[in-house]
Every structure is written in structure tokens, then in C-alpha cells.
Amino acid sequence: PWSASAQSISGTEKTIEVREATEGDINNVIEAFADAAVRAHAAGFDGVELHAAHGYLLHQFLSTHTNQRTDKWGGRFENRIRLLLTILSEIRSAVSSEFMLGVRLSPEDMPAFKGIDFDESLQLAEILEEEGADFIDVSPWDAFKKPDKYPEGDRTIIEHFRERLNVETPIITAGKIWTAAEAEKAIDLGADIVALGRSAVGIPDWPSRAREREFLPQKPPYSVKHLKEADLSDPFIEYMRRWPDFVAKN
């Protein structure tokens, strides 16, 4: 495995050694992202989202914790964002202008991944907008929280992003949205679209059910029987056991 920089990752059974990406690795992954977007376009999708959040590869290049390179792909902010911007440009030049292209960002540090500065995230969102991103997906794990960098302020993370981006640029957000009222609250804060994670896993017809004003979604833990009725496969149920208190222990 490779990443922006070499590192050792301690797992439950062994330590994994991760090597630093070569220039060839980086060029290949740029081409692979662009090819994937072209395939999605040809298959009839309306757009794609580049996942530059939650510790995935593009996030690893953005983070000062996992990207300690000294070449054009690391170090300064403008170098750490280069891979994401290059991929965005390659995709934009390879598909039609009607094909939507967005980016998902982790706006700040989380326990499992470090090295993301909130102000840099705001600046990056503005740059992505200028470079042709059609929407920005802000994923703070809690759609209603204030940034850790400015806890005494009166604005939530979503409000910060809404103030910095053009009104024509849609913002998506996710995190702890269970009820229709919470979805509406996120929209009132400045989001244009809400994305569902765990609530949609447990209640796959959430969007249609939420139209009923009396709808009160059942929250986890869910029984295995409930998840099977929601069409989760056995491997998916086992995966969801990694999330604390999502699958009932009995």
C-alpha cells in the first residue's frame, strides 16, 4: 500500500508499512480517477463525487499529518491540494459540462484522522468552486456543530461554508440527521441537500417516510432481523457491527 508519505499503521493483528507514492503512482491514480468518471458518464450517471474526506486517499494528500512530502505534491497548502485539483481538472476536461462534479471534504480534524485546518478547508472549497466543482459536500459527522477552531463563535460549520461560497453553489451536508425536522434545520443553516448515512442504512425508505409529519424513525441499535428486513446482506451487517451500538448485541 502507498500514500502521500511513508508511515506505519498499527492494526489489530499486525503493523502495516505504507510506502510513499512515486510520481508514477500519482500519475496513474490521476488517470484512474478520470477514467472512472468517464465510465460513470457513459453508463448514464448524472455526476460523480470525489471523496476527499474521512481518511481516503485524496484526504491523505490534503492532511499535514499524512502528507509530509517536500515535492510539488506536499508541504505547502497549494501543494497538498494539487492532486485533488489535478483530478478535478482532468475529469472536467474529459466529460460534458452537464455532468455534475462535486467534492466531499472533512472540514476539520476528527479522532480517526488529523491534519486538517478549518480555515484551509474553507479556502479549498472556494478554490474548488472556482476550478469547476458543481457542489461541495461538507461532512462534519454532525451537521449542526460549530467548528472546533471557533467554538465560541455563533456560526455552525455549514454556516461558515455557506458564507464563503456563491449562493449558486449547492452545499451538501450529513451527520446525525434522523428526523425530517433535523433535515430542515440543516437546510435552514445553509445546506441545499442533506445526505443520509446510518439513518438510511437502518431505514432505507427514509426519504419517502419523512414526508409524513408524524414519522419518528427508529434509532439504533437495530436487531439483525430488522437489518435483514432492510435488505442488508450478512457481510454488510457484520461491517455495521464496527459502528458502536448500531447492531444489537443479542
Whether residue 221 is preceded by a cis peptide bond, meaning omega within 30 degrees of 0, is: yes
Given a contact cutoff of 8 angstroms between Cβ atoms, the answer to whether 52 and 127 are in contact is: no
Query: Rounded to whole angstroms, how far apart are CA atoms 3 and 84?
Result: 14
Query: Rounded to whole angstroms, how far apart are CA atoms 52 and 60?
Result: 8
Number of C-beta neighbours around residue 45 at 10 A: 12
DSSP-derived secondary structure letter, 13: S
Can 56 be counted among the known catalytic residues? yes
For residue 8, which amino acid is it? S
Given a contact cutoff of 8 angstroms between Cβ atoms, the answer to whether 208 and 180 are in contact is: no
Q: Are strands 135-138 and 100-105 parallel, antiparallel or unpaired?
A: parallel
Catalytic residue among 56, 150, 222, 239: 56
**Which residues are known to be catalytic?**
56
